[in-house]
Amino acid sequence: MTYRSIFASDLFRSKVVVVTGGGSGIGRCTAHELAALGAHVVLIGRKLEKLQAVSDEITQDGGAVSTQVCDIRDEEAVRQTVAAVVAAQGRIDGLVNNAGGQYLMPLEAISAKGWDAVLSTNLTGGFLMARECFLQSMTRHGGAIVNIVADIWGSMPGMGHSGAARAGMVSFTETAALEWAARGVRVNAVAPGYIASSGMDKYPPELRPMLREIPQTIPLGRFGNEAEVAAGIVYLLSPAAAFISGSTLRIDGARPQVRMGWPMRVASGQVRERDAIKPFEGFHRATTPEMFSK
């Protein structure tokens, strides 16, 4: 089996696209789709074994891939990593700023160290990657950047550090789109809602019953999947989005629109089979999060 993308099979032929956090979840899926569409994908992350596992998958599927171990919070490491990619590949045409992470904690319990750690990963690291890709390649060749944020509409109670970082990344996206447009660089963001990916298995076991009930709070009545997010990312990287910059694409099943005073109507199982809203199952190597398999 191969990735069942809706996009043309040679869409990214001869293009080099960097994917941070490419060792799991949405990053892994996006890397697979880009490789299936002809891109040379550069996987970046902190753990070589995770990157190597995804690299092996892409190679087995016939794609072009390489890896770079990097802590995106480290400015000099980012500078050297981007330089190594440019030296090896000649240029960087696209960047998917996907690396991130957070943990559940009420604001009053978050330490300064914990706050800084989440902002460094979800905001500063993304800025550093984008800046270096721009300075070392895109300022000469142009390119497209997609920053992965989150459903921050209504903020993020219980994860205020992540909400602040993601909101900052939305603002950075809009600023960079303006400042870098003259160099032929587009900058957009994708904001996933509740997506059934491996990241869900990182939450404590006691939260799993609550997570399983989340579809009842989503108008479309289900979780999204990794392929649906990857498709949005690929679109924003593609020539079809050549006049889109500074925008944030929400992929969330309309959940932020739920309002008090409006009766909550969740799509039933039969309705969810209608072509307009049924899941897009493009990723041939997708795995069900452990929390849903028990």
Range 255-261, long-range pairs (CB < 8 A, 24+ positions): 255/151, 255/193, 255/194, 255/217, 255/218, 255/219, 256/151, 256/153, 256/154, 256/193, 257/219, 258/217, 258/219
Rounded Cα distance between 143 and 139, Å, is 8
β-sheet with 16-20: strand ranges across: 64-69, 40-45, 16-20, 94-97, 143-148, 185-192, 248-251
Per-residue pLDDT of the chain (294 residues; tens, 9 = 90+): 899 999 999 999 999 999 999 999 999 999 999 999 999 999 999 999 999 999 999 999 999 999 999 999 999 999 999 999 999 999 999 999 999 888 889 999 999 999 999 999 999 999 999 999 999 999 999 999 999 999 999 888 888 999 999 999 999 999 999 999 999 999 999 999 999 987 777 777 877 888 889 999 999 999 999 999 999 999 999 999 999 999 999 999 999 999 878 888 999 988 989 999 999 999 999 988 887 776
Exposure of 159 by Cβ count < 10 A (0-12 exposed, 13-18 middle, 19+ buried)? buried
Q: How far apart are CA 160 and CA 150, in angstroms?
A: 12
- Are the CB atoms for 231 and 282 separated by under 8 Å? yes
Total Cβ atoms within 10 A of residue 234: 26
Which residues, listed in sequence order, are joined to residue 191 by a DSSP beta bridge? 250
**Mind giving me the DSSP string for 54-69?**
HHHHHHHTT-EEEEEE
* Cα separations in angstroms, 174 against 10, 36, 134, 246: 29, 30, 15, 4
d(CA 61, CA 32): 9
Q: Residue holding tokens 């497209």?
A: 144
Just give the CATH number of 16-292.
3.40.50.720
Is residue 7 within 8 A of residue 234, CB to CB? The reply is yes
